[in-house]
Structure 1
Amino acid sequence: MKIRSSFIVVTLLIGLISGCATTQKQSSVMNQLYDGRPVNSLKVADAPKTEQEAIERGDVAMRAQNYDLALFEYIRSLEFKPAQYRDKTFYTIGRIHQMRENYTLSEKAYYMALKENPNNIEVLQQLGTNYSKQGDLEQGKSFFIRAINADQLRLNSRYTLPRETKDVETVNALSLDDKSPISAYMGLGIIYDMKSSHTVAQAFYKRALKIQPKSSKLLLNIGYSYYMSGDYTEAKRATLAALEIDPNNLRAQNNLALIYLGHGKIQRALNVFMQQMKDYEALNNVGYFLLIEGHPDKAIPYLQQAIDKKPSYYKAANENLERALAEVKAQASQ
């Protein structure tokens, strides 16, 4: 049944685009990348006369959130030869599929885009993001580096990013403008943080901040990187800057509390937690983070207070208290 409906769709498409120069290979692209509803339900206009006209029709359909029609029109634009925008169109098709959570087709479209233009920065950056989110950090890193190096080529820079970066001077030498791939810089920052190369990670975040100075997300990442490296002063500065831009950011508030705890300012951490949760939850959080930071003796009174505040319900605090008591006992026996 599926094969038969696909055949009907293709037959309709060939009829609709009659008058355009087509090939078996190009029709195959429609077969590979179109997954919308039947074409005869799309209210398709007469065949476009140029690649640009087909793209403009796709743009209109996108603005109207008619994604099937947009997909169909963008794919039709690929029928024209010569074509100027094939890599960009494949990228847009990939984004539509990704938005619809059809990741197989989105990846196929992205790789088709790279076949047309191996230095398409947006495609390289998107693939880096996708692989990183799937947990394939090496692939993600590779595509982020390719995106940044393609950007250096665009900017006529004499610098490129090597496979492994060990010093901040290499990162700081990279050229930037407002079109540079901010997600690639931020993605590499996250990957280097995960490898505990915090100084290099911070250099990538700061380059990204040059592209988008008012990004609370970037400031938050910088702050957390400094927190992980034990520089609580810089961590606090960056996190407060993030909160100044986005005062209701719960992650930033949570990070600020962690920074205060790392700095030994327990009451200030508790006050921050109290602003966003119940008192017994805040007390448990303080106790829990003191526990995982290696201070079970300091954690015990906060966990006991959390239990006192909510004795019939707060199971988490009881479990954390048992762990804290066990760790204190173990330390005493040693």
Structure 2
Amino acid sequence: MKHIALALTLALLSGCAAMSDDSDTSMPANTPGAGAIKPTNGKEAQMLIAQSQTSGDIDAMVYAYTQALAFREFDTTDIYLNIARLERQRNNNSRAEQAYRNVLQKDKNQQQAKEGLALLLIDMKRHNEAETLLKEVIAADAARLGQAAATPENCVTDSSSPWRSYNGLGLLADMMEQGSAARAYYQCALQVQPGLAMLHTNLGFSYYLQGEYPQAERAMLRAVNQQPEYERGWSNLGLLYYRWGRHSEALMALRKIMPQAEALNDLGYIAMMEGEYEIAQSFFQRAIDASPRYYPKAVENLNQAKTMQSASNR
């Protein structure tokens, strides 16, 4: 489903990215579509970077930053971090990983690269490596703040603390069905970013996973109250209300981010996945009736629900 993602949100340094099939881990010497300009000195390289940023062309920016690596005027750490960020946007996860590792090869304690790499590894389903790196990041932050040990239940943070790392560890803990630890990590992240709707939503979804619906509702309502346009917050709230048996409120939550027909179709899909085929068919039919024109997806879902109900009755 487009809106019912049923997932926690991982805040990456450069935004979420899908897995890439790109297996080339070397830094590209050229980038298709970036142009043929090759700088001969640092000033020209800086001009190329500025021009690529103005254009907004990601391929051109990767090319420009890669060319800048040849000149001493540039901090290679900054260059590789920018390349990693852009490669994430291009879904070139292997190249992003290599860029982060190039930074860490120069300085194994570069925390921004370590955190960025860890969050990337979560997307790449390499959870054990990610967890190790994230714990190193929060341990370093604890040491910076004079804390002997970094624990999710007793974290000490300030405005510079790595909230993305705490959020990532919360996500991993929820994946391992360690709900108490996950919520403690989210609370640590919220100490740093108390107004971030995504973190409140993750906390609420963690409560939801444990069947603690009132706590989940409170956290999710905080999220949408702080950021009324936050789609993930409303979709997760709709899911929560549906599972809680509060169908009319589920519909109202989804209506915040989509038309009536789509909201009814999404609720029907949830019901169908729950094996509640008659309820699903009712929602799908209401979606068809509410749509101002032919709604093929709702019709398809209605037929699928009927087929699944017939199969379950055999």
TM-score (norm 1): 0.69
> Where in structure 2 are there 5+ consecutive unaligned residues?
1-26, 32-36, 55-60
Residue 314 (structure 1) aligns with: 295
**Secondary structure, counterpart of 1:158 in structure 2:** coil
Please show how residues 133-212 of structure 1 align to structure 2 within 5 Å.
Answer: 133-160=123-150, 170-212=151-193
In 2: Cα distance, 1:226 partner to 1:307 partner: 34
**Secondary structure, counterpart of 2:281 in structure 1:** helix
Q: Does 1:305 pair with 2:286? A: yes
Residue 239 (structure 1) aligns with: 220
| Pair 1:176–1:43, CA change in 2 (3 A) | closer
| Pair 1:274–1:64, CA change in 2 (3 A) | closer
Q: CA deviation at 1:112?
A: 3.9
Q: CA deviation at 1:261?
A: 0.8
**Secondary structure, counterpart of 1:175 in structure 2:** coil
Residue 40 (structure 2) aligns with: 40
Q: Does the 8 Å CA contact 1:227/1:259 hold for their aligned counterparts?
A: yes
> Where in structure 1 are there 5+ consecutive unaligned residues?
1-31, 46-57, 79-88, 161-169
Of residues 187, 210, 221 in structure 1, which corresponds to 2:202?
Answer: 221
| Pair 1:305–1:108, CA change in 2 (3 A) | closer
Residue 121 (structure 2) aligns with: 131
Identify the structure with bigger relative contact order (alpha carbons < 8 Å, sequence gap 6+): 2
Please show how residues 24-63 of structure 1 align to structure 2 within 5 Å.
Answer: 37-40=37-40, 43=43
Q: Does the 8 Å CA contact 2:42/2:71 hold for their aligned counterparts?
A: no
Tell me how large the CA RMSD over aligned residues is. 3.4
Q: CA deviation at 1:207?
A: 0.6
| Pair 1:310–1:242, CA change in 2 (3 A) | closer
| Pair 1:246–1:115, CA change in 2 (3 A) | same
TM-score (norm 2): 0.73
Residue 3 (structure 2) aligns with: none
In 2: Cα distance, 1:252 partner to 1:194 partner: 19
**Identity between Structure 1 and Structure 2 (%):** 30
Greater helix proportion: 1
* Number of residue pairs matched by the alignment: 271
In 1: Cα distance, 2:290 partner to 2:44 partner: 65
Q: CA deviation at 1:237?
A: 0.9
In 2: Cα distance, 1:279 partner to 1:69 partner: 46
Q: Higher mean Cα deviation, 240-249 or 289-298?
A: 289-298
Give CA-to-partner distance per residue, 1:198-228, whole Å, 9 cap, x none. Answer: 2211111111001111111111111122222
Larger radius of gyration: 1
Q: Does the 8 Å CA contact 1:209/1:215 hold for their aligned counterparts?
A: yes
Q: Does 1:92 pair with 2:73? A: no
| Pair 1:175–1:109, CA change in 2 (3 A) | same
Q: Does the 8 Å CA contact 1:121/1:151 hold for their aligned counterparts?
A: no
In 1: Cα distance, 2:264 partner to 2:86 partner: 42
Q: Does 1:286 pair with 2:267? A: yes
